[in-house]
Amino acid sequence: MNPEETALGANRRTFLRNGLGTLGMFALNSLLRGGQDNAQDKWKGVVNPLHFPQKAKRVIFLYQAGGPSHLETFDYKPKLAALHGQGMPESFTTGQQIAQLQGKQLICFGPQYGFKKFGKSGQEICELFPHIGGVADDVCIIRSMWTEQINHDPAHTIMNTGMILPGRPSMGSWILYGLGAETENLPGFVVLVSSGKGGQMQPIAARQWSAGFLPSKFQGVKFNAVGDPVLYIDTPKGLGHDLQKASIDAINALNREQYAALKDPEILTRVSQYEMAFRMQASVPDLVDMSKEPASVLEMYGAKPGDGSFASNCLLARRLAERGVRFIQLYHRDWDHHSGIKENIPIKAQETDRATAALITDLKQRGMLDDTIVIWGGEFGRTPMSQGDGRDHHIKGFSFMVAGGGFKGGMTYGATDELGYAAVENPISVHDFHATMMYLLGIDHKRLTVKYQGQDARLTFTSGEVVQPILV
Amino acid sequence: MKQRAIAVAYAGLAAALLQGAQPVDFNRDIRPIMSDTCFRCHGPDKSSRMMGMRLDLREEATKPTHSGVTPIVPGDPDKSAIIQRIFEKNPARAMPPQMAHKTLTEAQKETIRRWVAEGAKYEGHWAYEPVKRPAVPEVSNDSIVNPIDNFIQERLAKEGLQPSAEADRRTLIRRVTFDLTGLPPTAAEVEAFQKDASADAYEKLVDRLLSSQAYAEEQARHWLDAVRYADTAGFHGDNRYPVWPYRDYVLRAFLNNKPFDEFTREQLAGDLMPNATVDQKVASAYNRLNRVSAEGGLQPKEYLAKYGADRVRTLSAVWLGSTLGCAECHDHKFDPFKSKDFYSMKAFFADVKETGLVSDRGADAWGSKLSLPSVEQKQRLSELDAQIEASKKALDAKVTATSAADRAAWEKGILARHEAGELAWSYQRPTSAKSLNGTRLTIYNDEPADSNFYLSTSNGSTLMSEHKPGQGLVIASGADPDKETYIVTFRPGEGAWTALGIEVVQDESLPGNRLARGADRFLLTEVDATVGKGAKLAFSLATASDSFGQMPENAPMTVIDGDSSTGWGISFGEARNPFIALRLAQPLKTNSGTVVTVRLHHDSEYRRATIGRFRLALSKAQYSWPENGESGVKFKARKGDDGVLTTAAERGLPAKVDEALKLPEDKRSDEQKKLIARHYAWSNPEFADLNIQLAKLETARGILQSQIPQVLVTEATEPRVTRILPRANWMDDTNEIVQPAVPGFLGKLDTGRRIANRLDLGNWLVDPANPLTPRAFVNRQWRQFFGIGLSKTIEDLGSQGEWPTHLELLDWLAAEFVLPTWRADGTHAWDVKHLLRTIVMSHTYRQTSIGNPQLDERDPDDRLLARQRPFRVDAEVVHDTALSISGLLVDRFGGPSVRPYEPEGYLAAMNFPKREYSASHGEDLYRRGLYTEWQRTFLHPSLLNFDAPTREECAVSRVASNTPLQALDLLNDPIFVEAARVFAQRILQQGGRDINRQIGWAFEQAVDRQPTQREEQILAELHRESLAKFRSATADARAFTSEGESPVAKDVKPADLAAMTTVARAILNMHETITRN
């Protein structure tokens, strides 16, 4: 039995509409506290107590959507350069899945840019990322990621939910469900999306931050660059703050009257949700207002307030982290370099390098890096083989960069083979990565489960091992 | 351990409440425990079995394993290895092992020990046993209406509990109206019901509701969740596909109470039925509702595997209440499904004609489709076809009639004129460019402009950038209104002109196929031109460059037809730099000072279908062909070379015709000869009338064609080979090939030597001997009326599912559903209305839901059904309720899906194409939520907020959460603000003269009762405060009440309306308003 089921079993009349009845509990906190709706109505998480000592309290996932090339970012392959233009040895590729290169001749395509050693640790990073190089001693480079899905849509789905079938909760939803958030005035799981130039802009789907079979309370709330920062956060035009407040007070007063008559605890939950909605209305504008950030900080990130850029989102991520949001996911798009990788990779590097490094530096200066996990990576990597002057999708080996929250700094872990094709040394699956991230958050990935379709469903499906060597 | 014991009580209510009173029952008491804690390693799946020990079969569990231990010795717990191990104190040896993170409570251990002591009797899993109609228990109680009550009350009596009294009439009519129709009752309906003193008042009410269209709409909605009906493809570009006629089929099926067996067969195999009707073919769209992908670079075989697996999962959840999907990778861990069963079921669908990579544009998009013209449309279509045929014949005849000498002279002449540049379009250099609605238009004549465009190369597309003089380029920027008119003037200088050309110029920075500023296409609805202050110039013929897949309704002639609802448009992927030529009815003579003004109108229903970049051109020739930018490209080489781009306007002859004309006549292919003849006819003034006539007819046909609904259907073809894929690895071709078959333990199809097909599958699903279909259906329906199934695991009646609280009732209902015998007059087999009618007629359903301390203590989750339970209505019902109360709801049955308001930029993360959302207009804004276009990857946010499933996967039940986003939605979403304002208008018009009466009236409308004094005070106070504010801020009052497209009442002062809107809004936001009690 899961702890939440236990708590639920001990409960009063609850609202359980289906097989996921175990999840009805969040609606009942007010009742557990003596029938009063009060300010402590927030979801505390089901992993309580924690399974492991908690190293990290929150996650900022800088999700580079489209599939960044590991060969022009974090995985230096001089041998591939030497074989540039020659046929890819068949021993690497026979029987392997490929995407757009189906039926085409496979030619080695050398790294398009040089690598340099950075920091005291001497980590090898592509010369296009000097700022990340500047924080090389704080980051851990993983060169041995692999995944199962070679097309964007399913690859995004598995990277986010651990499974290719839709309907599963995303990692942010699991973590919010497991741990709750430290804020009551903002959603506990926030998604920011930016795009730039220099690559095919692949679509992403709301499934990637969906709560799946968990209640929508745990879904990622996407902040928007245009219009309302959060959908429906703005008071209707002409109404004004005071009448919005008066209206919510009236609605809550009416609902309390109903509660007095019917004693249905769901009514009190409704009251507290309206209160929280009002607090969100007050806190979101303050959150997104960057005018009080010092010029030096804006400069460090390369952010212009209101431009919706990756840099602005990195700064916003720090502000969300400060306010107690549990899981912050930044999508930066158009990394899909089927062609023109040489021309385009520098554009993507310019868009992300400085802001990523600034975020790590900023968190460190504020003493938050130790308990904040920062992740930089996408849904897969790219082929060592050419596709014209670009690279195709690749799943057998690619790179992630992680920092903070209990990850070792100044370290490179795992390796692909000499041509950057397959992860051969300490390969890390998507599930392993999820397991490791959850471990740092104090969660045993095998124990945070919900009964779904007869299984104890979990983020890591049926596998996943914590990667201890990269942890402090 | 106390908490754990309670948890068990919760999971197995029956066991907990009755434990000790009677012998241990394997299915009820033991199987749930063993399934959850033992079967993963000691169950059906051989590949994960530990120590060779299998506990789900008695025969296996009672014989010694290879290591010599006997798991179970019936009657002797102390000798049974499992008892020793579960009571083991040493944690390293205790079962279940620590790594499983499963623990047994002391109570559970004792139950297992007792069961072994009592002889370890096994039973087949309840759900797989045949459905036998149980005897109805004898219970005498005045409240009993039908057998449902006997089953429920017998159990209550055993528990020492009493059923609750019937709810009051107001609650009853609200409840049953919400449950059957998804709408609240109107105040008048409530009043009539309350006044109806006849004994059968409730029965009449139920029958009225069951015969309504709203009933069909509500029931269809649940079915559409289950079969994952949506309007878009679900993967990647997530483009719209035509499937709504299937939704209407489902609507009609519920409206007409189509027997469920027929309903089943038609969906699975309508296309295979002898002399299949159109309706049956439409039903077969069911097999096409899975997500499909158009992502380039996907491996078709992989996606065919995905589509097939999706179908098995869906069928299994919807009809069988089973998780057969788990057997895709391995034998099922808890139920007797083998991996082979999964693939044998998948093999039924191997005949569905489809491709792995599914094209999402053009005439062949999405594969097999069926056109559904009305009688009138069919008639009109055949008339047009005949006229087009005649018109083409006339043209051909006229061409044939021309002499060879004339033709030869023409050929020579046109080539010479082309080479001399006489056919070239001459770009015009605008002297001014303005817009009506605020778009900034910037002219680049000699000024250099930046351009970013994709160029086709051998490796796909390459992004190019250029910085060079614009040559009359006009670039739109700044404000981006939904509709816009561009007004451009230029001085052509001296000349006599035959045609006006418009070149639309692509740029990567533009969202709509890099051509339009918003929508996925531009739509130029009309073009007109004037000279000086004179009259409009008359155009006779509009021709555009060839473009593959152009929507037939967007033909060029639509820009000169005087109809602003039609337009020329190019959408994603159809052409790069499309060019349109508008032939002047009379040549236009200009002198050096003549000013020409051209207006480009964009008035379509698509938002921002406005051209982003364009040039205007004139031609003097008879006639210059509107060659488009893409086929006009001369592309020399890649890097280092000067790639030279020719622009459309530099050519006036189709490249292919040019090529053909340069060949000697005997070297020309038939195709080339045809091209030449066609161009001859097009460019010859003597053919003008025939050309115009034909273009008009073809345009009319295109528009008509676009109005004829289409639907995806199943088309059977030679079945693909289906293999068992180990661990679902689609690349593994080594395993056994399977034929269509149903899961082995559930029986075998008798088709003789014939290979079974989908029709056999459909027949098997609804064979009265199939135990799962009726149980799964009845259990799912029950949930709609009580908030929870008789087994709460709607999606899983298997070993891991919940033992039903009232199995005999479930079976009685299943039997009654398959073949009614209780009050069977006027019913038929598989009668859905009879089933639902029986449920809602029962006293059990009609009980009050009001709090009761004894029940709170004894049965907090109301699983014994000693009372009803309140719950929030579903997402669509939240929407429909607000619209219904306000009076906005449009009562129209079926038809194409509609697009309610949606927040700006909500679809920004989508691509292929980039797009902007175009909301519907007029009545379509106020249709029931059922009709909202279901965009799978970005479902309408309001639906998502209230827990509607995305329908990417089958969803047989919804969760119902309670979140701040729901509060924000109901408070601030424009549709709810508009509903509040329209409701306020009604309150002011009909609610009486003073605020107290108005509040009372409004309360009646929304929740069918008078407010209490306190409630009235709360709202009166809100009204007073609002009125004070709005009286001093009329502009705010106007702003607050101007949300939405519906007309604002003119005869009301803005402050009065705004103040009453706050009252209406508060009422629409009440928990009670969105709760069915």
- Report chain B residues whose CB lies below 8 A from the CB of A239: 1036, 1040, 1062
Question: Each residue of A148-175: pLDDT tens digit?
Answer: 999 999 999 999 999 999 999 999 999 9
Residue B131 CA neighbour count, 13 Å, CB half: 23
What average pLDDT does range B1035-1040 have in this prediction? 98
Distance from CA of B995 to the nearest CA of A (A): 16
Q: What percent of chain A has pLDDT over 90?
A: 78
Q: What is the torsional sign of CA A116, A120, A123, A125?
A: negative
B248-262, B536-550, B921-935, B986-1000: which range is least confident on average?
B536-550
Mutate to test the interface with A, among B937, B971, B982, B1038 (most CBs of A within 10 A): B971
Helices (H), B888-1033: 941-945, 964-972, 974-990, 995-1007, 1013-1031
Q: What is the CA radius of gyration of chain B?
A: 35
Query: Which pLDDT score is estimated for A13?
Result: 39
The answer to whether B462 contacts A339, with C-beta atoms less than 8 Å apart, is: yes
Instruction: Check residues B58 and A358 and name the one with the higher pLDDT.
Output: A358
CA distances from A364 to A112, A139, B152, B688 (A): 32, 12, 63, 76
- As a residue count, chain A comes to 472
Distance separating alpha carbons of residues B267 and B759, to the nearest angstrom: 10
The answer to whether B799 contacts A454, with C-beta atoms less than 8 Å apart, is: yes
Distance separating alpha carbons of residues A338 and A67, to the nearest angstrom: 10
Q: What is the CA radius of gyration of chain A?
A: 23
Question: Each residue of B949-975: pLDDT tens digit?
Answer: 999 999 998 888 899 999 999 999 999
A352 Rama class: left (phi>0) / alpha (psi -120 to 50) / beta:
alpha
- Report chain A residues whose CB lies below 8 A from the CB of B99: 446
Query: Which pLDDT score is estimated for A110?
Result: 97
Cis status, amide bond into A49, omega within 30 of 0: yes
Number of other residues whose CB lies within 10 A of the CB of residue A454 = 24
Instruction: Check residues B334 and B375 and name the one with the higher pLDDT.
Output: B375
- Report chain A residues whose CB lies below 8 A from the CB of B938: 205-206
Query: Which pLDDT score is estimated for B205?
Result: 98
Distance separating alpha carbons of residues B266 and B762, to the nearest angstrom: 8
What average pLDDT does range B877-899 have in this prediction? 98
Smallest CA-to-CA distance from A274 within B218, B128, B965 is with B965
Question: Would you state the structure tokens that stand for residue A95, as one six-digit string?
Answer: 């029987």
Helices (H), B637-723: 655-661, 670-683, 688-707
Q: How far from the centroid of its chain's Cα atoms is residue B973's Cα?
A: 21
CA distances from B413 to B263, B334, B423, B622 (A): 67, 82, 11, 11
Question: Each residue of B369-408: pLDDT tens digit?
Answer: 999 999 999 999 999 999 999 999 999 999 999 988 999 9
- Report chain B residues whose CB lies below 8 A from the CB of A237: 1039-1040, 1043
Q: What is the dihedral of CA A315, A318, A324, A327, to 10 degrees?
A: 90
Long-range contacts of B77-82 (CB under 8 A, 24+ apart): B77/B113, B77/B116, B77/B117, B80/B116, B80/B120, B82/B38, B82/B55, B82/B112, B82/B116
DSSP tally for chain A: helices H, then strands E: 13, 17
Query: Which pLDDT score is estimated for B651?
Result: 74
Query: What's the mean pLDDT when you consider all of chain B?
Result: 91
Distance separating alpha carbons of residues A314 and A280, to the nearest angstrom: 21
> C-alpha angle with apex B967: B966 to B973, nearest 5 degrees?
80
Mutate to test the interface with B, among A254, A281, A451 (most CBs of B within 10 A): A254
Question: Each residue of A69-90: pLDDT tens digit?
Answer: 999 999 999 999 999 999 999 9
Distance separating alpha carbons of residues B935 and B951, to the nearest angstrom: 9
Question: Each residue of A365-402: pLDDT tens digit?
Answer: 999 999 999 999 999 999 999 998 999 999 999 999 99
Smallest CA-to-CA distance from A75 within A144, A9, A171, A25 is with A144
Nearest-CA residue of chain A relative to B310?
A: A165
- Report chain B residues whose CB lies below 8 A from the CB of A21: 788, 792, 861
Q: What is the ipTM of this complex?
A: 0.90
Q: What is the torsional sign of CA B344, B350, B356, B362?
A: negative
The answer to whether A216 contacts B939, with C-beta atoms less than 8 Å apart, is: no
Distance separating alpha carbons of residues B1075 and B702, to the nearest angstrom: 48
DSSP tally for chain B: helices H, then strands E: 36, 21
Can you name the residues that pair with B932 across neighbouring β-strands? Answer: B898
The answer to whether A18 contacts B792, with C-beta atoms less than 8 Å apart, is: yes
Nearest-CA residue of chain B relative to A198?
A: B463
What average pLDDT does range B431-453 have in this prediction? 94
Distance separating alpha carbons of residues A359 and A297, to the nearest angstrom: 10
Question: Would you state the structure tokens that stand for residue B1019, as one six-digit string?
Answer: 């709202």
In this model, does residue A4 exceed pLDDT 70? no
- Report chain B residues whose CB lies below 8 A from the CB of A225: 905, 908
The answer to whether A9 contacts B904, with C-beta atoms less than 8 Å apart, is: no
Query: Which pLDDT score is estimated for B636?
Result: 34
In this model, does residue B638 exceed pLDDT 50? no
> C-alpha angle with apex B638: B637 to B642, nearest 5 degrees?
65
The answer to whether A390 contacts B4, with C-beta atoms less than 8 Å apart, is: no
Distance from CA of B874 to the nearest CA of A (A): 11
The answer to whether B971 contacts A100, with C-beta atoms less than 8 Å apart, is: no
CA distances from B707 to B381, B710, B894, B895 (A): 11, 9, 16, 12
The answer to whether B952 contacts A166, with C-beta atoms less than 8 Å apart, is: yes
Q: What percent of chain B has pLDDT over 90?
A: 77
Query: Which pLDDT score is estimated for B7?
Result: 36
Contact B312, B346 (CB under 8 A): yes
Number of other residues whose CB lies within 10 A of the CB of residue B9 = 17
Strand-pair category, B710-712 with B596-602: unpaired
What average pLDDT does range A436-455 have in this prediction? 94
Question: Each residue of B754-778: pLDDT tens digit?
Answer: 999 999 999 999 999 999 999 999 9
Q: What percent of chain B has pLDDT over 70?
A: 94
